[in-house]
Structure 1
Amino acid sequence: MTVPQITLNDGHTIPQLGYGVFKVDPEETERLVSLALETGYRHIDTAAVYGNEEGVGRAIASSGIPRDELFITTKLWNSEQGSARARAAIETSLEKLGLDRVDLYLIHWPRPDLDLYVETWRQLETFRDEGLATSIGVSNFHRPHLERLLAETETVPAVDQVELHPAFAQTELRTYLDDHGIRTEAWGPLGQGKYDLFGEPAVSDAAAAHGVTPAQVVIRWHLDHGTILFPKSSTPERIAQNFDVFGFDLTADEVAAIDALDRGQRVGSDPDTATF
């Protein structure tokens, strides 16, 4: 089973489908990431604030998979924005992961109230130049935040990782990202269970038609739109099912029916006002 590779604006590639460890218990992380790697995942998405980078690192170390076959993302937490703190943060993350570089390093939230994300982005440019991060990007950035980066710094982010699922399709933001060569990554791609996504006829009917699960249908919908995603599960069966999405294709009508579920329903925090 071959996962499509997406080319980033810096020429590097990223597996379109990965495994995310948001809210994965640190005590369970090594086991679950090891299972994901055994299943075939090669893209792992974590973050400093998740508290489980060490478990990811142990799973990588014990996997026997060559480093150049893996794609590892981690993120700079809000309290570490600013030049001096950012360096200490990436060094700590690399130590916990047992790596000398990550494939992708992200500013986790813009925190416009701090007004440090431009300064921090310049520091990420330095990390990339030093080889601590192969690619650099952002998470939860809205258009005004991105416009400042493009106007005041030298590097267009490789990705913007944002809340994205059928009820919150982010069409306007995605158009802006596409126009500027920034790849879209989806967090919460299955809606985090905060609404009955799998009960929507557009999803359940497609699942029945193809003999797959509703989650597989939604993952396929993301893939068809070119989204990079890394659904999280702590259930071995679902980890395997979430990876087994390349044996069927949604019809144009099925994709359109899921598109029509968009109602601007955010289930997470608003990046313009989040202050954690």
Structure 2
Amino acid sequence: MTAPEITLNDGRRAPMISLGTVGLRGQAGKLAILEAIRNGYRAIDSSTNYNNEGIVGLAVKESGLARTEFFITSKLPGSHHNYDRVFEILQEQLARMGLDYFDEYLIHWPNPDEGLYVEAWRALVDAQKLGLIRSIGVSNFEPDHLDAIIEATGVTPAVNQIESQPYFNNETVHQYNQKLGIVTEAWSPTGRTNNDVKSNPVLAEIGEKYDKSIAQIVLRWLIQRGVVPVIKSGNPNHQRDNLDVFDFELSDDDMEKIFALDKGEEGRLEDQNPNTYHEYV
């Protein structure tokens, strides 16, 4: 089973579900990613800060599939918001992964206190022209950040990967993305260990109605909004279940029940507000 695809604003196509790899490291991580590939995942999301780009690259190589079968994403760390340093780290990341290009490359955080994200975006625009990146985008950008880079370069990101989960749906940013023709991706869509999304009784009740797990209900809620989930799992059964979300549709009433779980700023997973958060490495 593989996920259907969505068309980005640059004309390229990307799977509607991506495998998150944070925490998947070493031999165990490589085997988990290989299992995910066997289970049908073709979009794989990594980052320098995950300390696993080499492992991701090995899994892609050892899968035996053609490079063109994959949609590989990595991200620019906050310490490299400088035009020349963007190219240095980008080339290093490609070398670690054994790739000639990234299908998607994102500025991980805007770091607005530093004010260099526009310069970083200019570098991504040029890296795309050089063929190092197929689709360029951002992560955790608010509307003001998006406006600034578009005004400065005339180039609109293909993707904005943001936090979007039941306790913090981030619908305002998602709608702004849609207004600009930007695809929204969602990191940690089913929460983390510091919240109880996976045991929420409202989500459990909806799951019983459709004979689906809570994770499947959340993923379907995102997909019906036009959001691409980036979901991490090293468990083969969960990997398969997370792809098995295209055979049902949530009712409008159930969609609203999930929207009603939103807690605003208190619902953020790590209290990482992009207007104030700074990624130092």
Instruction: Please report the TM-score for the alignment, with normalisation by the length of structure 1.
Output: 0.96
**Match of 1:271, as an amino acid?**
P
Q: Which structure 1 residue ranges, 4+ long, deviate > 6 Å from structure 2?
A: none
Matched, 1:270 2:267: no
Question: CA offset at residue 2 of structure 1?
Answer: 4.3
Q: Which sits farther off after the overlay, 126-135 or 146-155?
A: 146-155
1:200-247, Cα deviation, whole Å (9 max, x unpaired): 333101111222211111111111111011211122221222122223
Residue in 2 that maps onto 1:99: 99
Which segments of 5 or more consecutive residues in structure 2 lack a partner in the other structure? none
Distance 1:259 1:188 in 2: 17
Residue in 1 that maps onto 2:32: 32
Residue in 2 that maps onto 1:168: 168
Distance 2:79 2:184 in 1: 24
Residue in 2 that maps onto 1:261: 261
- Equivalent residues in 2 for 1:2-13, closer than 5 Å: 2-13=2-13
- Equivalent residues in 2 for 1:40-189, closer than 5 Å: 40-189=40-189
Distance 2:41 2:98 in 1: 19
Question: CA offset at residue 171 of structure 1?
Answer: 1.4
**Match of 2:196, as an amino acid?**
D
Distance 1:104 1:128 in 2: 10
Question: CA offset at residue 159 of structure 1?
Answer: 0.7
1:146-170, Cα deviation, whole Å (9 max, x unpaired): 1111111121011111111011111
Distance 2:126 2:146 in 1: 19
Residue identity (%): 39
Distance 1:22 1:215 in 2: 18
Distance 2:174 2:18 in 1: 20
CA contact (8 A) 2:3 2:40 kept: no
Question: CA offset at residue 174 of structure 1?
Answer: 1.2
Distance 2:7 2:243 in 1: 20
Distance 1:30 1:198 in 2: 26
Distance 1:147 1:154 in 2: 10
Instruction: Please report the TM-score for the alignment, with normalisation by the length of structure 2.
Output: 0.95
How many residues in Structure 1 have an aligned counterpart in Structure 2? Answer: 276
**Match of 1:3, as an amino acid?**
A
Q: CA RMSD in A?
A: 1.3
Residue in 2 that maps onto 1:247: 247
